[in-house]
Structure 1
Amino acid sequence: MATVSACGGSETASSAAADVAPPENLASSGTLTYGTAASFPPFESKAGGGDPQGFDIDMITALAKSMGLKAKALDIDFDGLIPALAGRRTDVINSAMYITPEREKQVDFVPYMVIGETLLTPSGNPKKIAKVPEDLSGKTVAVTRGAIGETYMTEYNKELKQRGQPEMKIMSLPNNQDAMLAVQSGRADAFDTSTPGAAATLAATKGKFTLAATFKNETRIGIAVRKGDTATATAVGKALDLFVKSGGYADLLAKYKLPKETNYFATSGASASASATTGGS
């Protein structure tokens, strides 16, 4: 991976004391602008209409600081994140984005976590959903539009059809909060979320939902950069390596009560800068 050169011009002052040279051509000088869909606790969410908070928000703030930059969020719907990055409204996407072959054709990634998927139902699991996909036949499942859960459910519908079983109804909604509310209001039988997201939801809602099924426990998530933007991927990867070595990454896992299995670096043994995906599809 190419070495990042130090920035000049108006960003020189902010990068002078940086541990990692920041990328050039930022959306806003002296600032790492990141796209996020702040409705996916414990990674990113808003409380009372305030600023985004969560694991990803704390992490990107630390990474930006090591580059001598401030971090600034652009909070939009999940399916608008890649277009915003491509349009240079943001420098990176920092929104627990799952790494998939389809997305790798559009953006490059710096991986930082491994998670699975969970289906949450109303308390008591009234439709007795346990096995995926057979128990989803004929049910309504809420998903976040453009997220990996929508892809998984579409694939499961193909499997159900091949088995001669009725397909599920996939209810695609703008964000994770809307998917949760669809179940809470009775419009959907279950909603898809990440394993850490499910743990946070169950803790916050105190008995309103039941964990019905867990699946796909091998998905990587990462910070996304524009396709072929090696300089930004390198800077983010080096900053993340420093964050991991400092203990800050482990501290955030503990702070947000994320299971040890989510630690990408313990699982893979790789450095962030070495495992960044750039260039190819």
Structure 2
Amino acid sequence: MTTAACGADPGAQTAEAAVKPPAELVTDGALTYGVAASFPPFEFKGPDGEPTGFDIEMMDALAGYMALKATPLDIDFDGLIPALGGKRVDIINSAMYIKPEREQKVDFVPYMVIGETIMVPKGNPKGIARVPEDLSAKTVAVTRGAIGETYMTGFNKQLKAAGKPEMKILALPNNQDALLAVQSGRADAFDTSTPGAAYTASQNDKVEVAATFDVGTKIGIAVRKGDTATAASIEQALDKFVANGDYAKLLAKYHLPPEVNYFTAPSASATTSPAAGTSPSAAG
């Protein structure tokens, strides 16, 4: 089967599924997934106002292997896990970082390894270079409910313990709002992923990278806690997507560096899949 990453109709269904789809779906014939479409290059609004990006194309392909249509539900990031728990969506695919606090609520099928980046206005006027020291007494914008908010809260504890002023954490609905807060002067810096930072810098000459940290964090597709059947379906479809080369082609299309490839990362083979009954451990 040719996937969406190679130009196939993303909504096309096959006569016979290559991968058994989940038994219970929000909508018959569709794989409904939660996404916060404001985090390029993973998910963002295209010129037509519809979600596009790495995760969107990947989901078109994975759903296709199950003879399903991929149907995104675009909601704020902090509403994704509640939507999954409330069965408004079948899965979450929104560049979600695999962290212990999330693994208590959902299971993950990992698909990428990334790091975290602090971005600042061009020229870095506040001289931010070290994390967390140089964030002391600064205003840092984050996406509400995303891992950046957790990082900054933890950094504030470190700053307080060191006797330094804490940063002001400006939690906003999405990544685009965090970027705009820096450009408008409401914030001194904002937190995003390393691929997101590379994409933003390539599209916007008014901001730049100031610091990178916690490289090696995994991101994954989330399923309901204990839902090993759905996890197995996603994992099998993902295996086919990787094996036929379309995963690597999609990385190249969105200018993502080879080191983000989870399937060639040294730790990939040591990670236990949730389909086997155990959630993968979080990095960082």
Q: Same fold (TM over 0.5)?
A: yes
CA distance in 1, matches of 2:156, 2:32: 37
Asked if structure 1 preserves the Cα contact closer than 8 Å seen for 2:232 and 2:275, the reply is no
Unaligned runs of 5+ in 1: 1-13
Corresponding position of 1:134: 133
Deviates more, 1:268-277 or 1:149-158: 268-277
- Answering whether residue 216 of structure 2 is matched by residue 218 of structure 1, we say yes
- Answering whether residue 180 of structure 2 is matched by residue 187 of structure 1, we say no
Query: What amino acid maps onto 1:259 in structure 2?
Result: P
Report sequence identity in percent: 68
Q: Aligned runs of 1:265-276 on 2, under 5 Å?
A: 265-268=263-266, 270=268, 275-276=273-274
Tell me the alpha carbon deviations over residues 180-206 of structure 1, each in whole angstroms, 9 at most, x when there is no partner. Answer: 00000000000000000001111111x
Q: CA deviation at 1:16?
A: 5.3
Corresponding position of 1:248: 246
Corresponding position of 1:5: none
State the TM-score, normalizing by the size of structure 1: 0.91
Corresponding position of 2:88: 89
CA distance in 1, matches of 2:232, 2:270: 9
Change (3 A) 1:232 1:148: same
Q: Aligned runs of 1:95-110 on 2, under 5 Å?
A: 95-110=94-109
Hey, which bits of structure 1, 4+ residues long, moved more than 3 A?
A: 268-274, 276-281
Q: What is the aligned-residue RMSD (CA, Å)?
A: 1.7
Q: Secondary structure at the match of 1:266?
A: coil
CA distance in 2, matches of 1:272, 1:55: 25
Corresponding position of 2:164: 165
CA distance in 2, matches of 1:73, 1:33: 6
CA distance in 1, matches of 2:267, 2:126: 41
Query: What amino acid maps onto 2:198 in structure 1?
Result: A
Query: What amino acid maps onto 2:250 in structure 1?
Result: L
Change (3 A) 1:118 1:270: closer
Tell me the alpha carbon deviations over residues 69-99 of structure 1, each in whole angstroms, 9 at most, x when there is no partner. Answer: 0000100000000011111110000100000
Change (3 A) 1:269 1:133: closer
Asked if structure 1 preserves the Cα contact closer than 8 Å seen for 2:36 and 2:94, the reply is yes
Q: CA deviation at 1:266?
A: 0.3
Asked if structure 2 preserves the Cα contact closer than 8 Å seen for 1:237 and 1:276, the reply is no
State the TM-score, normalizing by the size of structure 2: 0.90
Deviates more, 1:44-53 or 1:102-111: 44-53
CA distance in 2, matches of 1:130, 1:31: 46
Q: CA deviation at 1:51?
A: 1.1
Asked if structure 2 preserves the Cα contact closer than 8 Å seen for 1:61 and 1:71, the reply is yes
Q: Secondary structure at the match of 2:52?
A: coil
Corresponding position of 1:228: 226
CA distance in 2, matches of 1:273, 1:210: 34
